[in-house]
């Protein structure tokens, strides 16, 4: 309005203007004054009111350029804005707003908090129906042990999938923890020792062994529960029972030839890297067997007799109730089941068959398991 009054004083013909003309003239002169006071590229704003000023700059006054404060943090210096590199040609590129960004990636929280997925440093390689699940469940309560929950069968069935697939099945572990897995069929698979050695020659191996006759009956009992029309144990175990000819091709019999399988493993691993757990002592003295396993793995003896109690119904030790759980931890229904009754003559014939293999096994490992 002050500009209009000044205009009327300076120009004598101004008294002839109508009211509408005066209003339009007032707006025009106000705009000229505004442009003179605030040069192009700036927007008048209150300190700390960046968001509001940006909204005004994008509002009706579209002719005004956005303030550089819209493109920078409130405490940033406009002079710190990086300039885009020029083209090699002299042609000028249209200016684009430069936004200051922090492109430094933040460290993955999973690595900081939960560790990494690593290939196993120890593997329970056998044997089936020897007590491998019990050893895994007992040792994994140790705070420095993490184990895959299911049998991976990588080295005998899924080797073509590659080590990265195998690694993906492992749990996340910290640097101080040991990664483990168990697949009992590894011990009797010819290619497995070579494949594990190719992964790491430092891998520690655990083999849970058991009286081969008792193990064969347990194996048959499990199979029978899944296949009720299975032939009798004697039909499968003997080619000719009257002559005492045992069928070594039957898997339940073949697994118990521990000495033959161990010879294959000793071609790739020294005996010092293989620890043998007694399946019988695992039942009568689980804490003692687990103490030796912890020593073999280089762990502090944390899993002790205070963690176990004997379940008379299952005839097997169970883990005592953890503080965070409402019930004790026992193995599943498939563990500790009652064996089928086998003719005593057949059992004695099998003991005679296994005896020389057992003696050789005792000599190889330097320990008498007293299966006779």
Is 131 known to sit in a ligand binding site?
Answer: yes
Is 336 known to sit in a ligand binding site?
Answer: yes
Is 66 known to sit in a ligand binding site?
Answer: no
The catalytic position among 128, 129, 182, 204 is 129
Active site residue 88: no
Is 130 known to sit in a ligand binding site?
Answer: yes
Core vs surface per residue 150-184: b (16+ CB within 10 A) or e: ebbebbbeebeeeeeebeebbbebeeebbbbbbbb
Sign for the pseudo-dihedral over CA of 296, 298, 301, 302? negative
Is 338 known to sit in a ligand binding site?
Answer: yes
Is 335 known to sit in a ligand binding site?
Answer: yes
Is 132 known to sit in a ligand binding site?
Answer: yes
Is 129 known to sit in a ligand binding site?
Answer: yes
Q: Per this entry, what is the length of the chain?
A: 372
Annotated binding site for 3'-phosphoadenylyl sulfate: 129-133, 210, 218, 335-339
Residue numbers in the known binding site are: 129-133, 210, 218, 335-339
Which positions are catalytic?
129
């Amino acid at each position: 309005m002050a500009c209009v009054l000044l205009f009327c004083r300076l120009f004598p013909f101004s008294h002839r203007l109508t009211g509408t003309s005066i209003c339009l003239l007032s707006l025009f002169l106000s705009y000229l004054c505004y442009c003179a006071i605030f040069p192009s590229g700036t927007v008048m704003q209150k300190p700390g009111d960046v968001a509001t000023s940006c909204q005004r700059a994008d509002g009706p006054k579209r002719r005004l350029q956005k303030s550089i404060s819209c493109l920078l943090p409130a405490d940033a210096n406009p002079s710190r804005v990086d300039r885009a590199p020029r083209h090699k040609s002299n042609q000028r590129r249209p200016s684009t707003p430069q936004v200051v960004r922090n492109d430094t990636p933040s460290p993955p929280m999973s690595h900081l908090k939960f560790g990494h997925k690593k290939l196993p440093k120890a593997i329970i390689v056998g044997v089936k129906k020897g007590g491998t699940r019990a050893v895994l469940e007992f040792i994994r309560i140790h705070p420095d042990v993490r184990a895959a929950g299911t049998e991976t069968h990588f080295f005998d069935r899924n080797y073509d999938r590659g080590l990265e697939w195998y690694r993906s099945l492992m749990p996340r572990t910290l640097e101080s923890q040991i990664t483990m897995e168990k697949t009992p069929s590894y011990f009797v698979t010819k290619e497995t020792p070579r494949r594990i050695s190719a992964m790491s020659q430092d891998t520690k191996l655990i083999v849970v062994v058991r009286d081969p006759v008792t193990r064969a009956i347990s194996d048959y009992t499990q199979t029978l529960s899944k296949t009720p029309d299975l032939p009798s144990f004697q039909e499968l175990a003997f080619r000719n029972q009257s002559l005492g000819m045992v069928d070594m091709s039957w898997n339940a019999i073949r697994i118990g030839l521990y000495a033959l399988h161990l010879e294959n493993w000793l071609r790739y691993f020294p005996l010092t890297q293989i620890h043998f757990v007694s399946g019988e002592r695992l039942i009568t003295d689980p804490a003692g067997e687990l103490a030796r396993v912890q020593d073999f793995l280089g762990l502090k003896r944390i899993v002790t007799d205070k963690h176990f109690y004997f379940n008379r119904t299952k005839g097997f030790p169970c883990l005592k109730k953890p503080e965070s759980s409402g019930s004790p931890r026992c193995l599943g229904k498939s563990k500790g089941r009652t064996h089928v009754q086998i003719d005593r003559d057949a059992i004695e014939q099998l003991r005679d068959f296994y005896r020389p293999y057992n003696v050789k096994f005792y000599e190889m490992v330097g320990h008498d398991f007293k299966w006779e």
